[in-house]
Amino acid sequence: MFAVIKTGGRQYRVVPNDVLEIGKIAGDVGTIVQLGEVLVLGGDTPVLGTPTVAGATVAAEVLQHKRGAKVIAFKKRRRKNSRRKRGYRDELTVLRITEILADNAKPTIGPRPKKEKVVAAPAEDGEDAAPKAAKKKAPAKAPAAKKAPAKKAAAKA
């Protein structure tokens, strides 16, 4: 099943689990928002809206608020010593489509739980994992330093 939604003056064809960037909308990161302007509900029997499909919404999880790439507006009037350089970045919201709802249904899928960072288990000897990593790096540097004097000694002989 797919839907065509309209937001921010643009139209998007979406299916569940799509990730898309749209113009900034209200909503905190990790919450579910409903997009109400559904123009088409597709599937076995497509439903076209006039102009929107009554009772249809699309539920989406807000993943991130960010800014888009910089756009430069440069104007120059030749031979007039007149130049204007102005830039801006669009405010964007990244969404993951969770479900496509019809007939005034409420969203049943909540936001995904955040992944927890995996912490390395401490060693049996009671040493931390960080000192072991430091110990591994130190021997790698020492043989390289020993090889250089050996070459000098071979060159002198």
Residue 125's pLDDT is: 65
Q: Is the peptide bond before 51 cis (omega within 30 degrees of 0)?
A: yes
pLDDT of residue 2: 94
Answer whether 38's CB lies under 8 Å from 49's CB: yes
The two tokens of residue 125 are: 């000897």
User: Helix and strand tally (H, E) in the chain?
Assistant: 1, 8
Cα separation, 53 vs 45, in Å, equals 13
Residue 157 has pLDDT above 70, yes or no: no
Helix (H, G, I), strand (E, B) or coil at 140: helix
Residue 120, pLDDT score = 79
In contact, 53 and 102? CB cutoff 8 Å = yes
pLDDT at 154 over 70: no
- Distance from C-alpha of 86 to C-alpha of 72, rounded to nearest angstrom: 6
pTM above 0.75, yes or no: no
Taking Cα atoms as reference points, which of 73, 76, 70, 39 lies closest to residue 56?
39
Is pLDDT of 115 > 60?
A: yes
pLDDT at 91 over 60: yes
For the residues 124-150, what does the mean pLDDT come to? Answer: 56
The answer to whether 19 touches 94, Cβ cutoff 8 Å, is: yes
Enclosing H/E stretch for 38: strand 38-42
Is the pLDDT confidence value at 151 over 80?
A: no
Is residue 99 helix, strand or coil?
Answer: strand
pLDDT score recorded for residue 77: 97
* Tens of pLDDT, residues 30-64: 999 999 999 999 989 999 999 999 999 999 999 99
Check residue 122 and give its pLDDT. Answer: 73
pLDDT digits (tens, 9 = 90+) for 63-83: 999 999 999 999 999 999 999
